[in-house]
Amino acid sequence: MSKIFIDACFGKETPYTPVWMMRQAGRYLPEYMEIRKKVGNFLDMTRNPEVVAEITIQPVKRLDVDAAILFSDILNLPMEMGLPLRFEKGVGPVFDKTINDEKDVEALDENASEKISYVYEGVKLIRKNLADDKALIGFSGSPWTVSTYMVEGRGSKQYAKIKKMVYANPKLLHKLLDKVTNQTIKYLTNQIKAGADAIMVFDSWGGALEKEKFFEFSWNYMKQIAKDIKANYPNVPVILFSKGVGLYFNDIEGEFDVLGVDWNTPIDYALEIFEDNYTLQGNMEPTRLYSKEAIKEGVTKIAKTMKGHRHIFNLGHGILPDVPVENAKYFVDLCKEITRR
Ligand code: 1CP
């Protein structure tokens, strides 16, 4: 059965512009909170294929979005590479052991992409339970973004430790990025084999780098991942999303299908640069979801700009935990209604 989301990734004509939301499975949904209370621990949720499948499908049932995204985290893979992970209340993800030198990189487990089989079991189960016309997006973090956590140990404002490596020990950092990239390619390939219809690479912290370093330490590795996946799975769309790099768009290119546009980057500016070479995904400012009026204004403006062009509706970053579900539903319905052809 054809999937509107997949068609839009390849720039084919669709009855309306498909829509989904980054972080659409999560705390704003009461049914998510219910499971979270029962299981207790976020990581345990991601390691249980039945729970993964249920949470992944929740927003599809509730909001009728056109794509589901695997419920997991970008940090499960580095955890399986040998860095114990915990989620600390009020802080977020924490690695107590971090990457400091050559021997830390050498100690990383190159069999992680096989050990993480709970993700593939989850993907199989989701694909079995998800409606045929809905796409399932598998994902990973970008090697750069994943490495920021592996080196810093937690979310960071300054990225002092990893940026020091960029300038003072680039060889070590490339060695780490190479290793993470190899595992990421295998990880995404296995998600596709298990049933993922598209894959997305999240580079949340690409914008922490100046232009030439962004291409050297982040984009080049994302491109490598995309190239490998497209060579083996030309029919599986590849979505790349780097946050905070709108001003670098002039030099962005590669073998991928969809480019995520963050909310800081005017989408008309992105369209001017890329024309219809890629499908653009995004980019309503997520905070607009607190007001229906603001949603209407945001959606109308983006729809007007993207009319007649390759587009997938989304937010310009993740949905916030206290957004009213009713407003999320209003956003999804409006995107479809306003773009119906
Ligand atoms: O219940 C909870 O409190 C856990 C919150 C949560 C959730 C729902 C975390 C912790 N991760 C997730 C799931 C998740 N993470 C998904 C699932 C699919 C969906 O979108 O619905 C995805 C794609 C991610 C990706 C992710 N994790 C990114 C990249 C995307 C982005 O938002 O920029 C990043 C940076 C992470 C790390 C992470 N995991 C969780 C948190 C709170 C964070 C961010 C920490 C920080 O700001 O440094």
* 295, two tokens: 């949603």
41, 74, 187: residue to mutate for ligand 1 pocket, most atoms within 8 A of CB: 74
Q: How does residue 304 score in pLDDT terms, banded at 50, 70 and 90? A: very high
Torsion sign, CA atoms 154, 157, 161, 163? positive
Q: What are phi and psi of 152, to 5 degrees?
A: -80, -30
Instruction: Give the model confidence (pLDDT) of 101-120 as tens digits.
Output: 999 999 999 999 999 999 99
Distance CA 256, CA 277 (A): 10
Query: How confident is the model over 10-19, as a mean pLDDT?
Result: 98
Cβ-proximal residues to 106 (8 Å cutoff; 6+ apart), any chain:
none
Query: How confident is the model over 285-307, as a mean pLDDT?
Result: 98
- pLDDT, residue 283, reads 98
Identity of the residue numbered 57: I
* Atom number of ligand 1 nearest to Cα 145: 35
Distance CA 135, CA 206 (A): 27
pTM for the full model? 0.97
Identity of the residue numbered 116: I
| Alpha-carbon separation of residue 16 from 61, 66, 137, 334, 341 (angstroms) | 19, 11, 19, 11, 6
In angstroms, the first-to-last Cα distance of the chain is 20
Query: How confident is the model over 35-57, as a mean pLDDT?
Result: 97
Distance CA 71, CA 49 (A): 10
Report which secondary-structure segment, H or E, holds 164: helix 160-168
Q: Whose CA is nearest to atom 9 of ligand 1?
A: 73
**CB 36 near ligand 1, within 6 Å:** yes
DSSP 19: B
The structure tokens 């969809």 sit at 258
Q: What percent of the chain has pLDDT over 90?
A: 98
Instruction: Give the model confidence (pLDDT) of 267-286 as tens digits.
Output: 999 999 999 999 999 999 99
DSSP 64: -
- pLDDT, residue 156, reads 87
Distance CA 77, CA 166 (A): 22
Distance CA 338, CA 341 (A): 9
* 144, two tokens: 């750069």
Q: How does residue 157 score in pLDDT terms, banded at 50, 70 and 90? A: confident
Q: Whose CA is nearest to atom 14 of ligand 1?
A: 73
Identity of the residue numbered 225: I
Residue 163 buriedness (CB in 10 A; 0-12 / 13-18 / 19+): buried
Query: How confident is the model over 10-34, as a mean pLDDT?
Result: 97
* 17, two tokens: 């512009």
- pLDDT, residue 57, reads 98
Q: Annotated catalytic sites, by residue?
A: 23, 27, 36, 73, 149
Strand, coil or helix: what is 154?
A: strand
Instruction: Give the model confidence (pLDDT) of 178-224 as tens digits.
Output: 999 999 999 999 999 999 999 999 999 999 999 999 999 999 999 99
- pLDDT, residue 1, reads 81
Q: What are phi and psi of 105, to 5 degrees?
A: -65, -45
> What domains, with CATH codes, occur in the chain?
4-339 (3.20.20.210)
Task: Please provide the average confidence, as pLDDT, over all residues in the chain.
Answer: 97
Distance CA 65, CA 84 (A): 34
* Atom number of ligand 1 nearest to Cα 87: 10
